[in-house]
Chains A and B, each alone.
Chain A
Amino acid sequence: MSELQYKPQDFKSDQYVRWCPGCGDHAFLNYLHKAMSELGIAPHETAVISGIGCSSRLPYYMNTYGFHTIHGRAAAIATGLKVANPKLTVWQISGDGDGLAIGGNHFIHAIRRNIDLNMILLNNEIYGLTKGQYSPTSPRGFVSKSSPYGTVEDPFRPAELTFGARGRFFARTIDVDGPTTVSVLTAAARHKGASVVEVLQNCVIFNNGVHSVLSTKEGRAEYAIQLKQGEPMLFGLNNEKGLIQHGFGLKVVKLGENGITEKDILIHDAHTADNTLHLKLALMQGPDFPVALGVIRDVEAPSYDESVEAQISEVQKNKKTRTLNELLMGGETWELK
């Protein structure tokens, strides 16, 4: 790799970071700074837009253009920003409440329109800033201050929602996994169109250990699978397990058992337009299946912001009107002499 033009600290603001000690946001922030320096896009050409919630304080800790907006609206505000100036690299930072509850409508429509945004969903399955209520990603039966007897509702699965909105990019990482986080963030930024990155994140105060199974290297090796483009879907401490297609679904197999060899294992292809297998991978969960990490889906399609520009150029080719006066005088007028 050639020498980096920017260093992580070029993206760091001078503000004191106020998240709770041990919050997953700290690690994520550092990885974001690192990913931005790897991308080599200047701080002044980068904008970070957030809504409301713990994670939405993030723009204040960036030395880029930033806007800490209102609850749920980050995706819509980021949409306006990106359509107005497609040259900017725009990041949208939301938590599970901001992005999937109050901002659910903007989340799905930004994905459907395929706005070229890097949509980061920091998912700790809890409302932190309002001090511990269940969120739309909390599991059924979850006990919280607002559900003392457990919730009686099923959660959203962010990947399912993304694919339901015709999402072309979906990746998953966990706050403690630096290399995966940096690599999915750079992949998301390089993807043209709406890229959703789900970050499994710990809330040390209200939902501590929510993703603890995956928080160690060993845990991830055993209970997660790192998906890599063009590589067989192997996991386990010694890469001894793999995924195969089985009927309409997936199946976990052990290499060497029942005559299974590496040749039988599925090869990851994030670029396949059909999302059936991507969805299956994204929805895998323990104890029977590993949780998929890495870029699960990455399919190119025209972005909205680019199509808006293209349409303007196309119309301008055929119409010479450039000013209001030309427009009005070219319409239905009459002269009073």
Chain B
Amino acid sequence: MAEVTEGGPTGGGTPTVIVDDLHIVYKVYGAGGDAEKGNAANALMRVLRRQGRPQMKEVHAVKGVTFVAHHGDAIGIIGRNGSGKSTLLRAIAGLLPPHKGAVYTNGQPSLLGVNAALMKELTGERNIVLGCYAMGMTPTEVREKYDEIVDFSGIGEFVQFPMSTYSSGMGARLRFAISSAKTHDVLLIDEALATGDREFKRRSQQRIKQMREAAGTVFLVAHNLDVIEETCNRVIWLHKGKIRMQGDPQEVLDAYNKA
């Protein structure tokens, strides 16, 4: 079960991402508890007693994960909620520091997702430009990609309207179109394909495939196992911060479904 089946035509190429015994611990504020009733008197007592913040909790989200990803791999990461999937992606992207162990990468892995940079009060038009710049494109690249993004998202004349007027599907399509406009060495996708109608899902899978060919390595986190099965040549099953199983999508998904 632990043997790695190097599926896919390009698996076994040059390594692009090496994750070596990675541990991630982060602090959560405001987790709350019995000690904190949330009024001013309690807060004052806490300060007087020099107790710091009792509601701070440490979460050991990833506990010793090790794997090597190669050029041409599309790796699906599956697992229940809270199993550390998103944390692992952020660590690969270099956005979370390892507590122990290391992540070695080639170039700059990028999380697919510009959602945080977009502003819903602004028109789609402005958001496309803003999102492209946020991903580090040059003005020439933005001009080149603009029409392609509008076409791909299929939102038509809605591009002139503020994003707050979009349906959730339209918003998701535009966000995916913007994020996927840039080519990346190592691409990390977190649940990006969850929304949109069937037609858009098909096109976005097409796009992921293209990006996978252009990019080298793709990591995909999704709850929708069909997407993983169709897109990935390798699957890692995370359970409580550890790798439960990894290898050929078919085998891992079967085991995951039985568990």
Do A and B originate from a single complex?
no
B residues apposed to A, CB below 8 Å: none
A residues apposed to B, CB below 8 Å: none
